[in-house]
Amino acid sequence: NAGVMQNPRHLVRRRGQEARLRCSPMKGHSHVYWYRQLPEEGLKFMVYLQKENIIDESGMPKERFSAEFPKEGPSILRIQQVVRGDSAAYFCASSPMVGTAKNTDTQYFGPGTRLTVL
């Protein structure tokens, strides 16, 4: 069973360009989370999605950032008009959500996309 897959692993963009990050959850997982990590910091929640639904995007900046998880295909985190401050590692996690006990649901992380904005 393949783990969570993310691509690209490294992405370099110039200021003002768009960055598109992809995440394929583990097989059988229908819940996807995106987190951002700055150097020497913990992970910060950005957005929580289920298939075709954004459940919670309260951790994501309202401008320039968007996320989707279509019925078919990977989840996409899109950053428009990138700025230097967007440079970070972006991790995607997926969970199976067995039952309704979210606090016991394990999230499994992908290898991350390291975004560098020049």
Shortest CB 16 distance to other proteins, Å: 27
3 state DSSP class of 10: strand
Closest CA to 35 of 27, 43, 23: 43
Residues 52-71 that bind other proteins (CB under 8 A): 55-56, 58-59
Closest CA to 25 of 61, 59, 76, 67: 76
With respect to other proteins, which residue has the nearer C-beta, 5 or 17? 5
Looking at the DSSP bridge assignments, the partners of residue 68 are 76
Sole window of 18-26, 62-70, 80-88, 101-109 interacting with other proteins (rule: CB under 8 A)? 101-109
Indicate the burial class of 36 (C-beta count within 10 angstroms; 0-12, 13-18, 19 or more).
buried
Q: Binding to other proteins by residue 108, rule CB under 8 A?
A: yes
With respect to other proteins, which residue has the nearer C-beta, 1 or 104? 104
Residues that bind other proteins (CB under 8 A): 4, 33, 35, 41-45, 48, 55-56, 58-59, 91, 93, 102-112
